[in-house]
Chain A
Amino acid sequence: MSIKSTLRAATALSLISAGSVFADGHSSTITIATVNNGDMIRMQGYTDQFTEQTGIAVEWVTLEENVLRQRVTTDITTNGGQFDIMTIGMYETPIWGANGWLVPLDNLSDEYDVDDILPAMAGGLSHDGTLYAAPFYGESSMIMYRTDLMEAAGLEMPDAPTWEFIREAAAAMTDRDAEINGICLRGKAGWGEGGAFITAMSNSFGARVFDENWVPQLDSAEWAETLNFFVDMMSESGPAGYATNGFNENLSLFQQGKCGMWIDATVAASFVTNPNDSDVADSVSFALAPDTGLGKRSNWLWAWALGIPAGTQQQDEAMQFIEWATSKDYIELIAENEGWANVPPGARTSLYETPEYQEVPFAQMTLDSILSADPNQPTVDPVPYVGVQFAAIPEWAGMWTQVSQEFSAAYAGQQTVEEALANAQAIATEEMEAAGY
């Protein structure tokens, strides 16, 4: 009898409890899917102020970047309606906008001052001239380097160095006995990790992923030069196991004083100059990402932006939140409470005209880096795609993840550069043909 009763009770309890939901009793609640980045988490802490102003409650769903991408893609392609606002990047926005999956942001108020958004950001988040997501923060990439090591090597970093200089400086700064690597760069497979870095780097070597007819160009001399240069420089001056290093691994190395130079996202500047986290905070300076004199630098362009899925039932409330979160007032709110170094960078022109922000050590170099990246003309030779470190086509994420795995295998010494490029060319050709290009 006791077993029977127990089973009945357990079943009833589990199904009743499972069926019920947590009700917050609020008539207007929006759900926002976002990433676990410092600026996004900071924004969550100020959401109460938005609720006080508007009466709209906010529920946050914070996920790791790749999980978020899969989650929001599933939801938007099926019209699931789970989220009222999605945090998306420059890659997704034009594609989803073109498919009609996002609400156009063409009704923003005058006070919002949409023209204040940095042109590079607005361009990357638009399709056919219509803005589909508002940038919360933007980034490019730049060189972060140790001034003390550079001085000890007897060198002076130019504001806009060449790759040859970087290679020489890296070799001069490397001290294997002291565990100092001249340069730390991303080698980790993944289209947003090492795949993004090498694509941006290849732009400065005159390479391109596709020609004007969408024919893959990975078997070109420029790609071979890019990859050979990268592998040779990293073998001479990079950390052991760089083939598996991504943003976090290099950040960790740099903060512990084990890198002379690090070329990566401009948002990293606030981490490496924060004395609470970084052992080298006092001796870091910045320079533009290198080039080879061909007219294109090797920096990328990215923005985390807020977009409204077309399936939402709360479009007006979502729009109000986006206006609040990406406004000039929000920047001032953060500056007042957290300091100017912690405001979301790279989204608004007016931020860089603010005298207080101009005093932040990495502010000007961040702006210069963003302005020197052109997603509409990312390469020396013409290309049919938009995007600096990616091509904004649906096939890119899958294809470039595979390609970057081939490159990482070459970095790890499992195959030659030539083999990696031949395999990459075969992958890209197959993918593009299958997609009907």
Chain B
Amino acid sequence: MARAVTTQRKTLNTILAWAVGLLIFFPILWTILTSFKTEAQAIASPPIFLNFDWTLENYAVVQERSDYMRFLWNSLIIAGGSTVLGIIIAVPAAWSMAFVPSKRTKDILLWMLSTKMLPAVGVLYPIYLICIELGVLDNRAALVVILMLINLPIIVWMLYTYFREIPGEILEAARMDGATLKEELLYILTPMAVPGIASTLLLNFILAWNEAFWTLNLTAVDAAPLTAFIASYSSPEGLFFAKLSAASTMAIAPILILGWFSQKQLVRGLTFGAVK
């Protein structure tokens, strides 16, 4: 009897999980499907789900009109660079907060997080003027630094949470064995926190990849990433939904594939220390 209830429950949970999963994935699925329709089919009412003449025409048009590889390369550099730079700065910061906390550590953490509440547009002009002064408008290095700074509070918070789960005694033992601070960070702490660091890397890479305010406002040609690529296909005066969907699919494909292959690490990292 107990077994029957468990199986029923399992089935129910599975169905529920699939339903929630499909619901969350549906907008992406719809975008992908729309990218294979004609413009007329894309706006058909009632909407056509699968029964349409599949076409690759939108991809051909997008490919012909835009230099996709240049946008992709810029996205990889900006998202990858800002994430790696952020991790390098955040690991020592999170270590000190987790293992050598002061009275104000919690306050500092909260203050760091509170900077995320500032609307980006509020500092657009100061940052734009700084970029003009430094001659770094439409420059990937500038965006690497800016996106790193924007995501740094989240990176520090995540790493701090993971580091807190690591017993301090292990680090103490390393120190007693003569490990320097650098060695302690690189050879003791980092390997033990790999799942946490990996999930932090992935999450911040996704955040930087999708960032669409600074990447649109501070770039023109040389540093424009995939967010600018998508924006070039949106139009309030003309129905180009199929082409927009093709551009969107091309923009999200790399991150979708990356997420798919690294989902184990991502889940492991995000649930790290959740169950004791």
Contact = CB atoms under 8 A, between A and B. Distances in A.
B236 A66 contact: yes
A104 B102 CA distance: 62
Contact of B77 (A18, A78, A81, A277): A18
B193 to A, nearest CB: 11
Interface of A: 3-4, 7, 10-11, 14-15, 17-22, 31, 33, 35-38, 41, 44, 59, 61-67, 70-71, 74, 78-83, 192-193, 246-248, 251-253, 255-256, 258, 265, 267, 271, 276-277
A195 B39 CA distance: 27
A63 B231 contact: yes
B66 to A, nearest CB: 8
B221 to A, nearest CB: 5
Interface of B: 39-40, 43-45, 65, 70, 77-78, 80-81, 84-85, 88, 124-125, 128-129, 132, 137-141, 143-144, 186-187, 190-191, 216-217, 220-224, 228, 231-240
A258 B40 CA distance: 14
Given A14-B77, A64-B231, A277-B39, A247 B144 contact: no
Contacts of A11: 84-85, 88
A4 B138 CA distance: 31
A80 B240 contact: no
Contacts of B137: 80-82
A67 B124 CA distance: 14
18 contacts: A3-B190, A14-B80, A14-B81, A15-B81, A19-B140, A31-B221, A63-B216, A63-B232, A64-B236, A65-B235, A67-B231, A74-B128, A81-B132, A81-B137, A247-B236, A248-B236, A252-B45, A255-B40
Contacts of A14: 77, 80-81, 84-85, 144
A241 to B, nearest CB: 12
B217 A70 contact: yes
Nearest to B84: A10
Given A18-B78, A63-B231, A251 B236 contact: no
A41 B247 CA distance: 15
A15 B141 contact: yes
A17 B77 contact: yes
B236 A246 contact: yes
B113 to A, nearest CB: 25
A31 B219 CA distance: 12
Contacts of A7: 84, 88
A44 to B, nearest CB: 7
Contacts of B237: 35, 37, 65, 247-248, 265, 267
Nearest to A276: B40
Contacts of B232: 36, 61-64
Most interface-central of B44, B125, B235 (chain A CB within 10 A): B235
A74 B236 contact: no
Contact of B186 (A4, A61, A81, A192): A4
A27 B51 CA distance: 51
